[in-house]
Structure 1
């Protein structure tokens, strides 16, 4: 398939072809204002923050129940990740990449896109239901394939957990489908707030398990000691939370006037265009899932000897905290607006939005990366301070992941710029580039000592992600005829210079509070770790923003302007 020519000042881009089901008397959607994006981002960020904090509480409780470096914890982590793995292969980001642009275009119809939405949702849920059934039937094969480094007893426990966890596939999909429709209709709150229900239910299940069967923070309980009742309580409560997270969104559909009616008449409504987009995104997600499976297979060889599946999962959760609160919240709010600009062929406004989203998110992401890297050992001690070696193992993996957070942030915005353009083909190719690097690097990590395998995998993911972001930005520049690159690069350099002094100060405080030695105050318990991180974070943030003010950062002034206005009122 030939690539369309890049737009240029002499040859402006052609507007996208009209959807064949779009009537000529379509209505025009209002374009979101900057203030609207800001409010939407705030709603998204607040819900994500609460959900992520509860997610961290869940991990802390989990560490007390099963430990962080143990065979039983790795068995449950693998089984609880299987629904995400299978869901990603079959749907995952396909729904995000396809639903929002298609729904925005369908919203131009006289009926507001209701008929089209019902058909699209019916198709998505049918595919998800079939996938869930097949995955449950193949649970033993899938579990053995992803965890080849586990012992037979450990695999048996993981399979038992998998039967309880795999039904999550359908309800993750339900949550994504219903939530993306709400986002496209500018109802951003429910999508980010309902995961709170999931975390509350999961935490309640863990606490009930602890009350009935006791805690095991050191991970000493043999995998053969788990009874069917213990498996049902852990796996069942995890799945129940996901079920409620998806089903409750039907209530918010009704609140914005949507009524879901299953509609299996798919012909003649333009789903072919959605299918073409989905095919490339499916291929992209298949690539990333292959890389993820290779990572899990390699790191499973370290289970019981060092940081393994559970530690990678915990470190990734920490990595995703600033990304979810800052990048996803801002980019999701921009995404709908970028899709509107793209649907009208207005690439200049799309470029402006992409540049603004990248500069605004990296302003905070650079600081967040620096603070969490400095606080990596105290952060690790929150989850497991049973030994200094465990703290080091978890902390080192956190540092390795955080090295790639800024690049991951830029990639997220660039990728969604392509999605807004209806282009899922280009993201496939720059994802293929990254996956090849990851697979080669991760397989090379098998040469490392078991205690360093997880660290090596995290570092490979970070380096490959940075290179992928650079390639993706270059391709978007070619597609749009520019992406305000000089301004973006100038802002990034300014942020990196401004964070140098805060990092030095943060490291000084870390050493002073004993965050780098066995028995130090910062590593002595959850409260001490949190207090140490709070002190380091406040000092680093104050220095960072102060230096940016002296440097007259336009992005910081834009960030502070709404706060100043609110304080004046």
Structure 2
């Protein structure tokens, strides 16, 4: 399955007043990440099932049909990211977020969606017509299987439009704090694909070695290619239902003039150029894999297993699990918050979110990197059950190298989002250039110097190396926007987690050696042997990793250990005797140690001086100065009048209006008066005692005291009917 891969802050009161429809509660980052991770996990599991069935139908290593389909099915994703994905992230997504906060937000968003959909449809139609040229650019070494790749490309190239529609509607849902449908809709795509491949296996049977391209007629091609595009279309169109339920109804409205898209053209230009340069690395790896297919059919590699594009794609399917489950889920929830803080000039807030994101994903990426690198061969056998032990061992180095780069991939993805939050695509282009050029150089060197069975391993080395180089380039570039990167705290967390992973790797290698190779000798079948090895070794490695992180006091794991401690304690209380006591003690040991809060600066007591024993001990305030009486509480403020001295009523529904009204109130009372009306009692607005007392007179209902002003210097109230009454008492 192909898939592209915050707690949004509440808008201001003004923005809230402009939003249409009822306000939806903003979910927390943890809840949003959990919903997205659950949908992604379900989709990935079904994707692995689909991939296993596809290998049974088309083959794996040295299969021209499999490489032809995988190339035709991967090119639309790469072209979408190259031509459209960067522009969507740089221009349309921020415009959608801003438009939804305006009074006519739904109309503005529909104008954006209509214009973007027309552009994407035109690009998809053009690339569909030019599908043979595109395939020759991306896979020039398929040889006799190239016509089959052309046929698959005609069916698969329209996926570009549905990928764009899926991204547009998904971003609208994310902007409305509805994260679940965007991550759960690919489940429908996988279900359709699984059903179509099962139908293919029922009609045409499985893959056999030595197949000829001539057996692929129009029916076979359509059953695989057309149903794949149908699944992508269903994945996008199903989002219409949650869009309508969220209160947004997509409509076709033309015209985007005056929406500020012109000011974002430079940002889009740099983003498009950076995405194009990064895509050069994918182009190099795809061409190297297509030439590996031709090399595998030569006599020089007749008895050697040569991994090609298909096995590289299978290894990437496992390698992408941590990013899709953890990194994308957490950083997607944080990205909106970082963008809002960047727009507000909150540099420290963006720095804190960056630090939180890096430290949060490190807990998982380090564990995944250690586990996948240690269990590469059995993991491939689990995810691709049709692989033999020899094919798994030949492809395992690809997955091992890719797994080592999981940590760098998470850091690169997170730092890249910080630059996008500041719309600094021009400086991001520097890092994109490094990420795109390194794979070209490495793949070219491998093609010229290395044997064909090692080509895809070097492609994996290029992928892992370029991302590490990319985030190292971004470190000085981000200092322009952030006060610092919280480096000591982040590096300390990564160092402790890597130290905790080292004993876990040693234990995992020991468990794997103890259980032996997954050749069917343990349970009778190779896939079940591999599954047992992965489950046992992964469980033991996780326990050792968490124990090591606990001993090294990794605070980022407190979120995990706190509920785990409560669960273990509850289970221990249910057990009788010493066993229950031991479990309760173990659960309490897992609880995070609360850090002792330091005393507040205002409450720190001064050290008492050393006094002789005969000195009389008096209360503290008696030895220094008399204790001051507590301050008199202020009189509560009475609400201001809803009507000014003259004119229409004022709506006190915004901070700016209330502030202007309060300024008018102060100015009203400070206005000097030439004389006080006869018979009008003084009504001072402040607490100062009036020095101009007169003979006691009758009190009126608006004055706090019953005296008359002797001179015109007294703070007297405006006369009734002349100024609208007392500003603190409606109606005077």
Give the C-alpha shift of residue 192 in structure 1: 0.3
- Distance (whole Å) between structure 1 residues aligned to residue 487 and residue 172 of structure 2: 32
**1:234 paired residue among 224, 227, 234:** 224
- Distance (whole Å) between structure 1 residues aligned to residue 378 and residue 288 of structure 2: 27
TM-score, L = length of structure 1? 0.91
Q: Alpha carbons of 1:32 and 1:506: their partners in 2 closer, same or farther (altered >3 Å)?
A: farther
1:200 corresponds to 2:185: no
Partner of 1:17: none
Partner of 1:9: none
Give the C-alpha shift of residue 562 in structure 1: 5.7
1:40 corresponds to 2:32: yes
Name whichever of 285-294 and 539-548 sits farther off. 285-294
Q: Residue 400 of structure 1 contacts residue 459 of structure 1 at CA under 8 Å; is this kept in 2?
A: yes
Per-residue CA distance 1:285-311 (angstroms, 9 max, x = gap): 111222211211122111151111111
1:393 corresponds to 2:386: no
Partner of 1:18: none
**1:510 paired residue among 502, 509, 512:** 512
Q: Alpha carbons of 1:188 and 1:24: their partners in 2 closer, same or farther (altered >3 Å)?
A: closer
Name whichever of 519-528 and 428-437 sits farther off. 519-528
Q: Residue 278 of structure 2 contacts residue 432 of structure 2 at CA under 8 Å; is this kept in 1?
A: yes
**1:182 paired residue among 146, 152, 173:** 173
TM-score, L = length of structure 2? 0.71
1:106 corresponds to 2:99: yes
1:369 corresponds to 2:378: no
Per-residue CA distance 1:92-144 (angstroms, 9 max, x = gap): 24323434433333333233x32331122122111110011111110111112
Partner of 2:314: 314
Secondary structure at 2:320 match in 1: helix
**2:257 paired residue among 263, 267, 270:** 267
1:89 corresponds to 2:85: no
Q: Alpha carbons of 1:522 and 1:63: their partners in 2 closer, same or farther (altered >3 Å)?
A: farther
Higher helix share: 1
* Greater relative CO, 1 or 2 (CA 8 Å, sep 6+): 1
- Distance (whole Å) between structure 2 residues aligned to residue 165 and residue 407 of structure 1: 32
Q: Residue 104 of structure 1 contacts residue 339 of structure 1 at CA under 8 Å; is this kept in 2?
A: no
Partner of 1:295: 285
Q: Residue 523 of structure 1 contacts residue 529 of structure 1 at CA under 8 Å; is this kept in 2?
A: no
Partner of 2:608: none
Write out aligned runs for 1:14-25 (5 A): none
- Distance (whole Å) between structure 2 residues aligned to residue 29 and residue 355 of structure 1: 33
Name whichever of 58-67 and 92-101 sits farther off. 92-101
Partner of 1:139: 131
Partner of 2:246: 256
- Distance (whole Å) between structure 1 residues aligned to residue 25 and residue 476 of structure 2: 28
Q: Alpha carbons of 1:369 and 1:33: their partners in 2 closer, same or farther (altered >3 Å)?
A: farther
Give the C-alpha shift of residue 479 in structure 1: 2.2
Secondary structure at 1:482 match in 2: coil
Per-residue CA distance 1:154-177 (angstroms, 9 max, x = gap): 001111111111111100111011
Write out aligned runs for 1:486-501 (5 A): 486-501=488-503
Partner of 2:619: none
1:128 corresponds to 2:123: no
Give the C-alpha shift of residue 379 in structure 1: 1.5
Q: Alpha carbons of 1:489 and 1:35: their partners in 2 closer, same or farther (altered >3 Å)?
A: farther
- Distance (whole Å) between structure 2 residues aligned to residue 146 and residue 35 of structure 1: 42
Q: Alpha carbons of 1:100 and 1:565: their partners in 2 closer, same or farther (altered >3 Å)?
A: farther
Q: Kindly tell me the number of residue pairs found equivalent between the two proteins.
A: 544
- Distance (whole Å) between structure 2 residues aligned to residue 484 and residue 224 of structure 1: 60
Q: Alpha carbons of 1:33 and 1:470: their partners in 2 closer, same or farther (altered >3 Å)?
A: farther
- Distance (whole Å) between structure 2 residues aligned to residue 477 and residue 23 of structure 1: 29
- Distance (whole Å) between structure 2 residues aligned to residue 44 and residue 269 of structure 1: 31
- Distance (whole Å) between structure 1 residues aligned to residue 290 and residue 215 of structure 2: 21
- Distance (whole Å) between structure 2 residues aligned to residue 119 and residue 521 of structure 1: 61
Secondary structure at 2:230 match in 1: helix
- Distance (whole Å) between structure 2 residues aligned to residue 482 and residue 28 of structure 1: 36
- Distance (whole Å) between structure 2 residues aligned to residue 542 and residue 280 of structure 1: 45
Partner of 1:224: 214
- Distance (whole Å) between structure 1 residues aligned to residue 87 and residue 274 of structure 2: 9
Q: Alpha carbons of 1:394 and 1:360: their partners in 2 closer, same or farther (altered >3 Å)?
A: same
Partner of 1:58: 50
1:525 corresponds to 2:526: yes
1:243 corresponds to 2:238: no
Q: Residue 83 of structure 1 contacts residue 165 of structure 1 at CA under 8 Å; is this kept in 2?
A: yes
Per-residue CA distance 1:169-219 (angstroms, 9 max, x = gap): 100111011101111211000000000001111111111100100011x54
Partner of 1:10: none
- Distance (whole Å) between structure 2 residues aligned to residue 286 and residue 79 of structure 1: 19
- Distance (whole Å) between structure 1 residues aligned to residue 343 and residue 91 of structure 2: 13
Q: Alpha carbons of 1:459 and 1:540: their partners in 2 closer, same or farther (altered >3 Å)?
A: same
Q: Residue 347 of structure 2 contacts residue 481 of structure 2 at CA under 8 Å; is this kept in 1?
A: no
Name whichever of 230-239 and 297-306 sits farther off. 297-306
- Distance (whole Å) between structure 1 residues aligned to residue 92 and residue 273 of structure 2: 17
Give the C-alpha shift of residue 564 in structure 1: 5.8
Q: Alpha carbons of 1:33 and 1:246: their partners in 2 closer, same or farther (altered >3 Å)?
A: closer
Q: Alpha carbons of 1:401 and 1:29: their partners in 2 closer, same or farther (altered >3 Å)?
A: farther
Q: Residue 55 of structure 2 contacts residue 386 of structure 2 at CA under 8 Å; is this kept in 1?
A: no
- Distance (whole Å) between structure 2 residues aligned to residue 32 and residue 467 of structure 1: 41
Q: Residue 519 of structure 2 contacts residue 526 of structure 2 at CA under 8 Å; is this kept in 1?
A: no
Partner of 2:152: 161
Secondary structure at 1:331 match in 2: helix
Query: Please, what is the CA RMSD of the aligned residues?
Result: 2.5
Q: Which runs of 5+ in 1 are unaligned?
A: 1-21
- Distance (whole Å) between structure 1 residues aligned to residue 433 and residue 24 of structure 2: 34
Secondary structure at 2:164 match in 1: helix
Per-residue CA distance 1:383-428 (angstroms, 9 max, x = gap): 1555433112221111111111101101111111111222222222
Q: Residue 166 of structure 2 contacts residue 237 of structure 2 at CA under 8 Å; is this kept in 1?
A: yes
Per-residue CA distance 1:266-302 (angstroms, 9 max, x = gap): 1111112343322221111111222211211122111
Q: Residue 514 of structure 1 contacts residue 523 of structure 1 at CA under 8 Å; is this kept in 2?
A: no
Partner of 2:451: 449
Secondary structure at 2:480 match in 1: helix
Per-residue CA distance 1:202-239 (angstroms, 9 max, x = gap): 111111100100011x5432222111100000001111
- Distance (whole Å) between structure 2 residues aligned to residue 260 and residue 179 of structure 1: 12
1:549 corresponds to 2:577: no
Q: Which runs of 5+ in 2 are unaligned?
A: 1-10, 297-305, 571-732
- Distance (whole Å) between structure 1 residues aligned to residue 140 and residue 479 of structure 2: 42
Secondary structure at 2:362 match in 1: helix
